[in-house]
Amino acid sequence: MGSAQILNAQSDNVRISDKQYVSKQWDNTRGLPVNTVFKVMKDKTGYLWAATEEGLVRFDGVNFRVYNQENIPGLVSTMFYDLKRSSDGGIWAANANAIVHAKNNRIQIYDARDLVEGTWITSISEIHNGEVWAGTNNGDLLVLKNGDIHLLSDWQKVKSSAIMTIETISEAVLIGTQNGLFKFTQSNGVFEEMTDYSGLEVRAVEETPDGNLWIGTRTHGLFYQMEEDIIHINEANGLANNRINALQLTEDGRLWVGLGFGGVQMIANNEIISLRENEFGLNEVNDVYITDSGIVWLSVTGHGILQMIPADIKILRESDGLSNDITLAIYQDEHGVIWSGTASAGMNRIDDGEITHITPDYGLQNGVVLGIYGVDDFIYLGTGSGLHRYNLETDSIDRIFTTDDGLASNIVQAIYQDSHGRVWITSRSGGIHKLHNHREIERLDVPESFQSAEFINIFEDNQENIWFSTTSTGILKLDGDDNLIGYSIHHGPSSEMVLSMYEDPEGNIWAGSNEGLLVLDENGEFRLFNRRNGLQFNGIFRMIEDDYGYLWASGNFGIQRMRVKDLLALKHDETGEMKIPVRLFDTSDGMANREANGGIFPAGWKMQNGEIWFPTMEGIAMINPAALIELEKPVEVYIESLNFGENEFTAIDDITIPPGTYNLEIHYGSFDFKKPHTINYFFRISALSDEWQSTGNRNTAYLTTLSPGNYTFEVKAEQFGVESEIASINFYVDPFFYQTNWFRILILFGLFIAGYLVKAYHSKIIAGEELRKQVDFQTKELKERNRELKKVLSELEKQNQILKKVAWIQSHELRGPLSKILGLLDVVKNYEHFKEVGKGRDELIIDIDKTAVELDGIIRKINSEIEQIDPPETK
């Protein structure tokens, strides 16, 4: 804010230098538990925390997580009223009856119920020595020190009424109460009242870098406390409301004021500025918080959180003074005056922030301005009713050229003065003309195929060729020798529309078609690059190179930016597979409407100050490329937790997962509060694959059953072709007993032994080739015979029974008579040697005979038994 003016929507002055914001609102329909938020604050990790009466809320740009008594053991009340950064990078939260410390996934509760009976904690701050002070609604000051909470006794003597805010400033602690402001000086440990504010309810305090104080009160507005003086600002000075809830200083010295009624106002250079964002109808703003990247977070009663992202693309609109929101051709003349056509309300002249309208009143016959170009003291306008000549000296349209003057058509598309001073006018119906001396129009003969062409764009390259492109039949080139050469951009039925052209640093000509970007190669043929190669959209309306090595290209989906050197690499890539990083700018960057306008000339202009302006359906998109260089910074990816069942772990835990766990989830994200929807995530798991697996914009990876072992889960994020660093989490999957190492070793040992035996056996076989052959043969044979043998075996068992029987007969029945015969024969033989035998020889022989017959009978019996046996050999 260089100028001392108070801007508002009705102002005729341009808001070019003003801050513009892209707003997003978060309420209970979009993840917040409740619509009233008291305070938001980011921790060092990157999470945004919010204090509400329905819990402490954590937000990463996409996902909300609510901490309340249901999921935090020891928490009794769901009400949170204040937040402050803790010195360890976390957050101190004032719960109604506890002091709460939050850091990443860990919430610590310091119960203060004994000390806050009948009241509640309203405010909190960590002071210089690491103590945490908490103020209550009955005026007590609690101190959290070494894990214990007690009342601050020194304060009891000073204590008057409810504590509204505690602010730790450079050398002191300020305590704003319902009834005055108190200062605790760290060096002497003394509390003293700042008597200028006696009786005032002090709700907010901010310290400026030079040690002055901004003090916001509930009923008396704002005070600026300097060493000697106090400046009082209230409704009388232009403050929207005397009730101040919140104050926030920015790095560039602006003070944001959150009001009890009337939203927010900004004070810069002692001027009060109202913001467009008040249109959101936010009445009571409880807190204003601004992050390092400049994003403003408003905590609002009844409206949740309003996020205001500083717009990367600023928009100049009808409400800022343009004659119409639909803007067409844009041109800056050599005096720095910017001329911009509209779709129905003539042309705007923007001169050092002043906007004037060149309307039909000035002699403009048609409100639609398609082409604008300055030549000498004239600005030429291409319209639907001829070429208009605007005289800068008389400030009026002093001549209109039509078909009567030699134009091929009254619909004039483009005007351009080349490096030789020639002025080119193109129109529909194949019209390419030269304008001589601001008076005569000379029409060029164009080749047959271009006779009905609509020449919408004129481009001059460094070889002094002039390229005229069409909406239907490709490009016509006029070379230095006045030869006209036609180029077709496609081989086939594709569109031949070329709305824009560009020459790269290596002298190659690029054409922007509705199917992508084409480069003209050495063979006179165009090669196409499109979304496959990283473009955010294909239809290109206008290409402009900035001073920082980027090419900006507009289209129906916004404006995309790519590095020129990437474009060159793409051109030289022979695989056709190459992808380049391209960043998209659209409504999430400040555009009121993402649709840029094309088919006009010039459909965008690089201003003398390096800014690039593109016409859009809602105002002019103004880009300051210098301010957007740092956007290349990759997003930061983090792993929130690893979950299975009810278990939750973070990366710092020692994670062991029980065997058989099949529903593992890993939650990750990035702290992108601007464009989280444009982030794509990729993960991989060491030991499984080196390939990255895409989860798109999703923040969770689901892992099914993993074998036992150590794993590292890695995740990275990609935004506009720029990759983040890798975040990782390690975990160990426990084995079942049969998956353990000792069990494996046992099995291995067993296998080793088995292997050894096989080896030993094998060695024996190898020892003799014959033996090996035999074994081979036998193995085969054995298989066949095994089946046979089983059958034979049962047979044999049966036969064995018979044989046993036979053996028994042999030994008992057969031998019995035989031995008897032998005995009797012995008696007969030695008859004379016996004293008295008792039987005659004849009798003995009859006995022998009888026994022999008996023996014969037994032998017959054995024969009949043996006949039952079928020896296997006979089968």
Interface with other proteins by CB under 8 A: which residues?
Answer: 811-812, 815-816, 819-820, 822-824, 826-827, 834-839, 847, 850-851
Report phi then psi at 845, rounded to 5.
Answer: -65, -35
Residues 6+ apart with CB under 8 A from 9: 276, 319
* Closest distance to other proteins from the beta carbon of 815 (Å): 5
- Select 694 or 819, whichever has its Cβ closest to other proteins: 819
Per the DSSP assignment, residues forming a β-bridge with 488 are none
Q: Are strands 656-657 and 693-696 parallel, antiparallel or unpaired?
A: unpaired
In the bound complex, what is the minimum distance in angstroms from residue 869's beta carbon to other proteins? Answer: 22
Contact 344, 323 (CB under 8 A): no
What order do you get walking across the sheet with 396-401 strand by strand?
369-375, 378-383, 386-391, 396-401
Neighbours of 729 (CB within 10 A): 21
Of the two residues 709 and 857, which places its CB atom closer to other proteins in the complex? Answer: 857
Q: How far is the CB of 840 from other proteins (least distance, A)?
A: 12
Q: How far apart (Å, rounded) are the C-alpha atoms in residues 682 and 697?
A: 9
Indicate the residue among 493 and 838 with the shorter CB distance to other proteins.
838
Which of 688, 595, 677, 671 lies closest to 633 in space, CA to CA?
671
| Minimum CB distance to other proteins, residue 875 (Å) | 32
Which CB atom, from 308 or from 848, has the smaller least distance to other proteins? Answer: 848
Least distance in Å: CB of 749 to other proteins?
A: 46
Instruction: Map 61-113 to HEC letters.
Output: CCCEEEECCCCCCCCCCCCEEEEEECCCCCEEEEECCEEEEEECCEEEEEECC
Measured from the CB atom, the residue of 335 and 835 that comes closer to other proteins is 835
Q: Measured from the CB of residue 848, what is the shortest distance to other proteins in angstroms?
A: 9
- C-beta closer to other proteins: residue 788 or 843: 843
Spatial distance between the Cα atoms of 839 and 828, rounded to a whole number of angstroms = 10
Quick one: 37 or 806, whose CB is closer to other proteins?
Answer: 806
Least distance from C-beta 868 to other proteins, angstroms? 23
Query: In the chain, count of helices (H) and strands (E)?
Result: 6, 66
Count other Cβ atoms within 10 Å, centred on residue 484: 16
Comparing CB distances to other proteins, the nearer of 745 and 807 is: 807
Considering the complex, what minimum distance in angstroms separates the CB of residue 808 from other proteins?
9
Among the listed residues 456, 380, 459, 390, the one whose alpha carbon sits nearest the alpha carbon of residue 418: 459
Task: Output the smallest distance, CB 817 to other proteins, in A.
Answer: 8
Q: How far apart are CA 173 and CA 190, in angstroms?
A: 10
Nearer to other proteins by Cβ, of 734 and 813: the residue is 813
Give the residue with the Cβ less far from other proteins, 579 or 815.
815
Placement of tokens 């005070």 in the chain: 223
Is the Cβ of residue 233 or residue 824 nearer to other proteins in the bound state?
824
C-alpha Rg value of the chain to the nearest Å: 49
Helix H or strand E segment including 863? helix 841-866
- Distance from C-alpha of 695 to C-alpha of 682, rounded to nearest angstrom: 6
The least CB distance from residue 766 to other proteins, in Å, is 46
Contact 518, 570 (CB under 8 A): no
Quick one: 791 or 804, whose CB is closer to other proteins? Answer: 804
Helices 769-808, 841-866: inter-axial angle, 10-degree rounding? 130
Task: Count other C-beta atoms under 10 Å from residue 183's C-beta.
Answer: 17
- Residue with Cβ nearer other proteins (143 or 824): 824
Closest separation between CB of residue 752 and other proteins, Å?
A: 46
Nearest in space to 43 (alpha carbons), one of 64, 27, 65, 59? 59
Q: Is 417 exposed, middle or buried (0-12, 13-18, 19+ CB in 10 A)?
A: middle
Q: Cβ 861 to other proteins, closest distance in Å? A: 16
Closer residue to other proteins (CB): 627 or 859:
859
Please report how close the Cβ of residue 836 comes to other proteins at its closest, in angstroms.
8
Minimum distance, C-beta of residue 800 to other proteins, in the bound complex (Å): 17
Scored b (16 or more CB within 10 A) or e, 68-99 reads beeebeebebbbbbbbbbbeeebbbbbbbbbb
Closest CB 858 distance from other proteins, rounded Å: 12
Q: How far is CA 45 from the centre of its chain?
A: 17
CB of 743 to other proteins, least distance (A): 50
Beta bridge partners of 425: 415, 433
Output 627 or 846, the one with its CB closest to other proteins.
Answer: 846
DSSP string spanning 793-828? HHHHHHHHHHHHHHHHIIIIIIHHHHHHHHHHHHHH
- Residue 452 and residue 427 in contact, taking contact as beta carbons nearer than 8 Å: no
Helix %, strand %, coil % of the chain (to 5)? 20, 40, 40
Q: Please give the single-letter amino acid code of residue 860.
A: R
Closest to other proteins by CB, 489 vs 824, is 824
For the record, the structure tokens of 664 come out as 């593992």
Tokens 């016959």 belong to residue: 365
* Count of other CB atoms within 10 angstroms of residue 495: 14
Minimum CB distance to other proteins, residue 761 (Å): 38
- Residue closer to other proteins (CB basis): 318 or 847: 847
Residues 6+ apart with CB under 8 A from 482: none
Q: In terms of CB distance, is 571 or 815 closer to other proteins?
A: 815
- Which residue reads 């004021």 in tokens? 257
Q: In the bound complex, what is the minimum distance in angstroms from residue 823's beta carbon to other proteins?
A: 3
